[in-house]
């Protein structure tokens, strides 16, 4: 079973013929075409209630040939003739189908064989991307030269990486940004036993479920994916209660073993910019658009949705993908993890906690700071990076091959909120260059 995938060839400040990049999106069940291509980093973005397209001055096709991957089957316009396929979905099937598709795609377009290959994605692609990269890496060991994929690295944004620290960081972020009270913060930490796995001695109390419900309720009237921007109040995007409409997406056990958490996270409100998701929904449901894309020729019995409503079961989702990151870094792959720092769903606190559990060695760069208080080298390598003479975020590099980057003021979809800086970040990632550490080089 391989998903039916729409593709789009893209190109950034260097020769695109040198690179091929596969882009996976969040989810599970959300479309890389609807979000990545049409809202964030494609050459044309959907605007104005889905009536037209706007050229994207900061499209990632200025740097790479970009393939948007709709996975698993059931996402976007992809479909299967067997309903049983939809009941066997999970991380493993998604990775295997994506790998099979890439091999077939490269056979169909052999001019891309042998080029440096990278994978990028965001949110739950923190699972998809490393798992696909691992399959490619392992598959290359037994593959003929003609079948090997020249994978060099991957980058993942606001990525789901490690259940316990992802969940803990989400609560820490809400408290530190004054979204929840001291009392609720203390109750969640205490009753949910700091989200430790049962295997590690975690014992959530009876008060965990009501505390989690109150915690998630704090985001009812704001956008959890971008806490400082307005929510979309278009009539068809608002619930009867006047709150942003909830996105009902099948969610695996993405964050530890707390069943109430998983049930509630299926109804986290959607937002974005704030109405781009509504625009995209309207656009891809247009008959003329579907005909132009050669999509939906089978006349699917449901309307197009950016996040699939036919995926209702997710069979496997490992508690952590950090061992995969370690394995691939040891194999020499370049790994960048970036984080928009106004995202409350997979916040920068979660990412920092997750990476810290890996026990990596921070790269110490000599950097003096003003005032004689010590530089980045003295304080763990954490430093600002610059774009157009302004602080664009912060970064830290690790000897094992991982770079952590924050993007200041960006939400969950970094290229949507900070298109210019996301393009600059991609440029440096592809070149294997450190981000600018001074205003003069930004």
Whether 23 is catalytic is no
* Structure token digits, residue 264: 């509630």
Give 10-residue mean pLDDT values along the chain (442 residues): 30 46 72 92 89 93 91 90 88 95 94 93 94 97 94 96 93 98 95 68 79 94 93 61 35 40 47 73 94 91 88 89 98 98 97 97 67 58 95 97 98 95 96 91 47
* Structure token digits, residue 97: 């189908």
DSSP structural state of residue 194: G
Is residue 104 within 8 A of residue 110, CB to CB? The reply is no
> Mapping DSSP to helix (H, G, I), strand (E, B) and coil, where does residue 220 land?
coil
Whether 341 is catalytic is no
Is residue 244 within 8 A of residue 270, CB to CB? The reply is yes
Instruction: Identify the active-site residue in 31, 226, 412, 422.
Output: 412
CA-closest candidate to residue 172, choices 405, 413, 347, 394: 347
Cα(224)–Cα(212) distance, integer angstroms = 15
Cα(77)–Cα(310) distance, integer angstroms = 11
**pLDDT (0 to 100) of residue 193:** 77
* Structure token digits, residue 270: 């959607």
Instruction: Identify the active-site residue in 78, 123, 305, 339.
Output: 123
Distance of CA 38 to the CA centre of its chain: 15
At 135, which helix (H) or strand (E)? helix 125-142
CA-closest candidate to residue 249, choices 3, 69, 126, 74: 74
At 383, which helix (H) or strand (E)? strand 383-387
CA-closest candidate to residue 129, choices 235, 239, 2, 27: 27
**pLDDT (0 to 100) of residue 245:** 38
**pLDDT (0 to 100) of residue 246:** 37
Residue 19, burial from CB neighbour count under 10 angstroms (0-12, 13-18, 19+): buried
**pLDDT (0 to 100) of residue 255:** 36
> Mapping DSSP to helix (H, G, I), strand (E, B) and coil, where does residue 267 land?
coil
28 prior amide bond cis, ω within 30: yes
Whether 343 is catalytic is yes
Cα(131)–Cα(153) distance, integer angstroms = 12
* Structure token digits, residue 110: 């052999």
What spatial distance separates the first Cα and last Cα of the chain, rounded to whole Å? 46
Instruction: Identify the active-site residue in 343, 350, 354, 422.
Output: 343
Global confidence as pTM: 0.86
**pLDDT (0 to 100) of residue 121:** 93
């Amino acid at each position: 079973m391989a998903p039916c995938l729409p593709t789009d060839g893209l190109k950034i400040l260097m020769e695109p013929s040198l690179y091929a990049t596969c882009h996976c999106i969040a989810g599970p069940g959300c479309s890389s075409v609807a979000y990545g291509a049409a809202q964030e980093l494609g050459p044309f973005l959907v605007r104005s209630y889905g009536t037209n397209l706007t050229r994207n001055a900061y499209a990632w096709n200025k740097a790479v040939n970009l393939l948007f991957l709709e996975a698993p089957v059931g996402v976007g316009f992809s479909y299967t003739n067997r309903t049983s396929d939809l009941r066997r979905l999970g991380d493993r099937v998604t990775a295997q189908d994506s790998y099979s598709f890439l091999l077939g795609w490269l056979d169909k377009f052999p001019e891309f064989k042998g080029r440096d290959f990278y994978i990028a994605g965001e949110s739950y692609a923190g699972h998809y991307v490393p798992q696909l990269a691992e399959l490619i890496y392992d598959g290359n060991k037994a593959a003929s030269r003609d079948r090997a994929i020249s994978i060099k690295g991957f980058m993942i944004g606001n990525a789901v990486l490690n259940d316990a620290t992802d969940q803990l960081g989400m609560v820490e972020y809400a408290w530190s940004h004054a979204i929840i009270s001291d009392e609720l913060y203390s109750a969640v930490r205490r009753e949910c036993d700091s989200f430790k796995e049962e295997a590690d001695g975690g014992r959530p109390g009876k008060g965990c479920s009501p505390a989690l419900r109150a915690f998630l309720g704090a985001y009812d009237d704001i956008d959890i994916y971008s806490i400082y921007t307005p929510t979309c109040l278009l009539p068809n995007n608002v619930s009867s209660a006047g709150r942003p409409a909830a996105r009902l997406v099948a969610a695996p056990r993405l964050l530890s073993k707390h069943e109430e958490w998983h049930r509630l996270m299926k109804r986290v409100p959607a937002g974005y910019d704030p109405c781009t998701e509504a625009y995209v929904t309207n656009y891809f449901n247009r008959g003329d658009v579907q005909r132009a894309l050669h999509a939906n020729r089978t006349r699917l019995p449901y309307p197009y949705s950016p996040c699939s409503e036919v995926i209702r079961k997710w069979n496997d989702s490992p508690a952590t993908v950090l061992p995969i990151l370690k394995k691939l870094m040891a194999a020499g792959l370049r790994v960048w993890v970036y984080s928009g720092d106004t995202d409350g769903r997979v916040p920068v606190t979660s990412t920092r906690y997750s990476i810290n559990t890996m026990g990596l060695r921070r790269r110490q760069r000599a950097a003096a700071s003003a005032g004689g208080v010590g530089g980045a080298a003295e304080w763990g390598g954490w430093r600002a990076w610059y774009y157009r003479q302004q602080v664009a975020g912060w970064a830290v590099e690790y000897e094992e091959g991982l770079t952590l980057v924050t993007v200041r003021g960006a939400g969950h979809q970094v290229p949507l909120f900070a298109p210019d800086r996301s393009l600059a970040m991609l440029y440096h990632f592809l070149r294997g260059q450190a981000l600018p550490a001074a205003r003069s080089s930004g």
